[in-house]
Amino acid sequence: LGVFTQDLAQELDPDARAVDLVTSYARQENVFISDESARRVLGSLGLTGDKNLRRMDDLSGGEKARVALAMFAMKPSNVLLLDEPSNHLDSECVKALCDSLAEWDSKADGALVIVSHDQDFCKKLHFTHVGTVADGKWTIEPRDARDSDWGLYRTSGSATTTMARAGSDTNKKKTETVVEMDPKLRKKAFNAPKRISKIEKLVEAAEREISSLEDEMVKYGRNAGKLVELTEKKEQQDAKVAELIDEWQELEELMEIAVSG
């Protein structure tokens, strides 16, 4: 059983190097896994160059999520359980994840179980069964996901909700729960998918800036004054990413509260 959770990156040793975490995890199943193999997987997820040799504490939130995803990908399993796997990943990394899962599914003799509020992510995959939780019961139907499964929050091109059939008692109950929320929180929950989409773009931009600053730091390695200036800019961008990730998590928690009841 391979398990990938949305908080896995936060549980990793902050002092360990990215490549060391991946290899040590993978070697639990295969002692012959090489650092080169781990670096290749990390590179496919965007952690190229010296980034996969850095301490976890020196990586951004999105980069840490990629390390956790690489660990998950390196350990062979015939049942994969993914809990909100697209959280904190930029669009490029989500695409790489979808491609990897599709390739795994075509080759492996096993099962893939995904828990997700990300409709766009789920649309990229094809499911054989959909599980619905309603009135304390778990129902599994042999079919692919439908747009009506998402029910509540629908914005242009994205939606965030639990898996529930449109028109069911579950949806009615959830709608009533949202109405009873504080008006400000209700509005914030309703607009959350749109804001999360914007946050994702802001995180991507900030991480590109961080990468550019790191390249400059290497270039001006002997210029102490320039290094101080670049380090301050990098710290500002790191803080910006951390703040955005915190807001992202807060919005997701708010949406979960809104659709549970």
pLDDT < 70 regions, the chain: 6, 88, 103-109, 134, 151-183, 258-261
**Beta-carbon count within 10 A of 34 CB:** 11
CA distances from 239 to 87, 195, 207, 232, 234 (A): 19, 19, 11, 11, 9
**Positive or negative, the Cα torsion across 139, 143, 145, 146?**
negative
pLDDT at 107: 62
Task: Decide: 42 and 54 in contact? Cβ < 8 Å.
Answer: no
Q: Which two tokens stand for residue 114?
A: 């995904």
Q: Which two tokens stand for residue 88?
A: 């904190």
pLDDT at 154: 44
pLDDT at 192: 82
pLDDT at 36: 87
Q: How far apart are CA 177 and CA 259, in angstroms?
A: 7
